[in-house]
Structure 1
């Protein structure tokens, strides 16, 4: 290298910056990896992140629709009772489906008769460490208040602990969050102008370092939406074409958006064990999903009947028949 070349590059350096911070994605395993019930103050906490599960309720259309499909079938068969209205029954069912824990406060008169059954939010109810009682937890007030009346707790037994139920669909939590992430990515992609960012390559030497800094700031302020990044690369005395804007590759052909949505949808429905034809899912093949009536009948006998039996257990604990269901039939002509 000659003395002239050394002088030409004195004070010049290659500058390369990327703009746009990665957004954290909810780690699926952190929602249900506790495997035990932590003790806090005077009660047991859930063996999974119940707040995260509550937020995930509206994460994707398939996850929400699967839960609502089960809820609607149960509610349509329920016989309203003066001591447990249809509206109250809906609240009881949705807590059982989402959290696999449902609580009913039994209000009795002085003679011990049942006046009313009041469903309680599973998100705010905890099992007492001492005795068989339950607490209403409100962390905003910093206190856990024990219920004075009897509280009935129904849930599916877990393999790691015997205090709370754990939703079966948590096995497909990664599919649910992947489906949501794919949708959010595509939304950001179109919001960003249907591209995933660009590389601004400047090889012509700018007059001063201040010009470089100003250009760098301008690119930084124009960063894309969400996870999309723009890259500023400054290589003085580089190759021809001093300034280039290089768009990143087309996302439409690279991200397999449709395949991700279909695969994560199928995993989600498998976790819920709900036939897709009962949820309005459009089939990808000409043959479709098969007879919806037969699928509905199998769905009832394998899934809904089990949930009904869990809810009927409340009658045994109360000592009175309050919850009852009509016979399942798809049309009035069915026997």
Structure 2
């Protein structure tokens, strides 16, 4: 959605009155698009004649997966714990479950295709990428890796594990969506600081020149020197000689002073706290160094609470495959505090 600046309105001055100088008003930056997080409350999964389109862009979730180190690390931690406790089954290998679990945690949807023999017996389960899998009517499923490629899975051979959504019942949505903007803010802050140090192409100040003793040739020379100071190696000094010049004829007015007050560390810490709260992961389990003397407490106790409140419910979700398959395909080793799982 784009906004337009209001049109200037001119008023005719009375006879003999001095016409004031025109006032120019402008805004900083470009129009921002409406966040699709809010649009989720007003739209549903659209049916294109073959399958339903996801209510949220899956390519956006895929790219945001590595936007923040805390976001990606929290998902990998859950995936690794689930995979380590998973007991392989002849129908479902550990590698397949690992990919299946990662897809579910990132997209809120996980798909397994049951490959069957001619007799109808399930030989094994294969993982179907959630980013390209679509759901049609009557539980039909399609694999759409590109706009001109599609493959329809055989009927009743795709198991769909989804994180329930309050707005529609076709696709799942990941739990961390409320912290997605914080993860992107973390990435933006890092990229801005990196560009700042790489090329320094930001607007650092305004040079205000009002001294009449400086001629046009001197102004051009000054402009050329400022242009050369931009880019790599821009932190250099500039000498200006203006005989009989006014004390305030040349001023430097910083325009990035407000941005300088924006503490980089505060942005990183605040966005990190939002992401970890959405994932419900103790910071000590991600290798984060505490800023206070008290630290994060006992790591083993934090792990025990995390296993009980977060990993155990996830294991229960994955075990729903057993009801669909009619066999105990998904099993996990019990967690033993202070030691390894039972063999």
State the TM-score, normalized to the length of structure 1: 0.79
What is the correspondence of 1:1-335 to structure 2 with a 5 Å cutoff?
22=29, 29-31=35-37, 33-35=39-41, 36-128=44-136, 130-141=137-148, 143-148=149-154, 150-193=157-200, 197-204=204-211, 240=247, 242-248=249-255, 254-332=261-339
Moved more, 49-58 or 317-326: 317-326
1:193-223 per-residue CA deviation (whole Å, 9 max, x = no partner) reads 5985232333356756x98789768867866
- 1: CA distance, partners of 2:109 / 2:261: 42
Relative to structure 1, the CA distance from residue 219 to residue 39 in structure 2 (aligned partners, 3 Å threshold; closer, same or farther) is: farther
Compute the displacement of 1:83 (Å): 2.4
Distance of 1:85 and 1:113 partners within structure 2:
17
Q: Structure 2 stretches of 5 or more lacking a match? A: 1-23, 233-244
- Deviation readout 1:122-170 (Å, 9 max, x if unpaired): 1100111x321101113342x4321125111011221111111111110
Quickly say closer, same or farther: Cα 1:24–1:117, change in 2 above 3 A.
Answer: farther
CA pair 126-218 structure 1, distance change in 2 beyond 3 A: farther
- Give yes or no for contact 1:135–1:144 (8 Å, CA) kept in 2: yes
Counterpart Cα distance in 1 of 2:98 and 2:221: 59
2:49 and 2:228 mapped to 1: Cα distance? 48
Contact 1:104 1:117 in 2 (8 A): yes
**Alpha-carbon deviation of 1:242?**
4.9
Pairs aligned (count): 303
Residue 176 of structure 1: CA displacement? 1.3
SS where residue 200 of structure 1 aligns? strand
Distance 1:32 1:312, change over 3 A: farther
Check conservation: 1:108, 1:116, Cα contact below 8 A.
yes
- Match of 1:282, SS state, is coil
Distance in 2 (alpha carbons) for counterparts of 1:164 and 1:323 = 22
> Aligned partners of 2:30, 2:192: CA distance in 1, in Å?
11
Taking the aligned partners of 2:174 and 2:340, their CA distance within structure 1 comes to 36
Deviations 1:251-281 (CA, angstroms, capped at 9, x unpaired): 8961121112111111111111111111111
Is the contact made by 1:74 and 1:304 (CA closer than 8 Å) also made in structure 2? yes
Higher strand share: 1
C-alpha separation between the residues in 1 aligned to 2:166 and 2:196? 42
User: Shift in Å at residue 190 of structure 1?
Assistant: 1.9
Whole-Å Cα distance in 1 between the matches of residues 221 and 58 of structure 2? 47
TM-score scaled by structure 2?
0.77
| Conserved 8 A contact 1:84-1:322 | yes
Instruction: Rate the CA distance shift 1:255–1:81 in 2: closer, same or farther, 3 A.
Output: same
Q: Distance in 1 between matches of 2:143 and 2:114?
A: 15
Q: Which moved more, 1:152-161 or 1:185-194?
A: 185-194
CA distance in 2, matches of 1:161, 1:281: 37
Secondary structure, aligned partner of 2:110: strand
**Structure 1 residues without counterparts, runs of 5 or longer:** 1-15, 226-237
Distance of 1:191 and 1:333 partners within structure 2:
46
SS state at 1:123 partner: helix
Q: CA RMSD in A?
A: 3.4
Rounded to whole Å, the distance in 2 between the matches of 1:135 and 1:333 is: 40
Which structure carries more relative contact order (alpha carbon 8 Å, separation 6+)? 1
